[in-house]
Amino acid sequence: MSAYLMSDYDTKTLGALAHHLGLAKSPTTAARVLRKANNDALACRYGDKPAPLRGTVDPVEFHLSTASSFHFAELCARFEYQCAEGDYENRPGVVLLGKIRKELDL
């Protein structure tokens, strides 16, 4: 399996979504938890060093109401695939991703 670093924009979109769904108090914290899961997968696969998430998440920047459920389903699936290295099921970011998928009934 290949693993790559998800873009800051995609990671922040999921962080904003988690916050919007009431699964996280802070969209920035949610995005950082998701980025850590992605970084951990890259470290397991390639020994890469962590790439921190740049900036913060402003929920207003992400127009969640205009995105389709297909968009979120695809984004969640892609993110989950990129985090699937090592003991990934117990990583907080992967657990959060599962909660997002459940909340959206994906």
Q: Are 36 and 92 in contact (CB under 8 A)?
A: yes
pLDDT at 60: 78
The two tokens of residue 4 are: 């790559």
- Per-residue pLDDT of the chain (106 residues), as tens digits, is 556 899 999 999 999 999 999 999 999 999 999 999 999 999 988 988 888 899 999 887 877 766 788 888 999 999 999 988 878 888 999 999 999 999 988 7
pLDDT at 23: 96
Q: Are 20 and 59 in contact (CB under 8 A)?
A: yes
Q: Work out the angle at residue 23's Cα, subtended by the Cα atoms of residues 20 and 29, and round it to the nearest 5 degrees.
A: 85
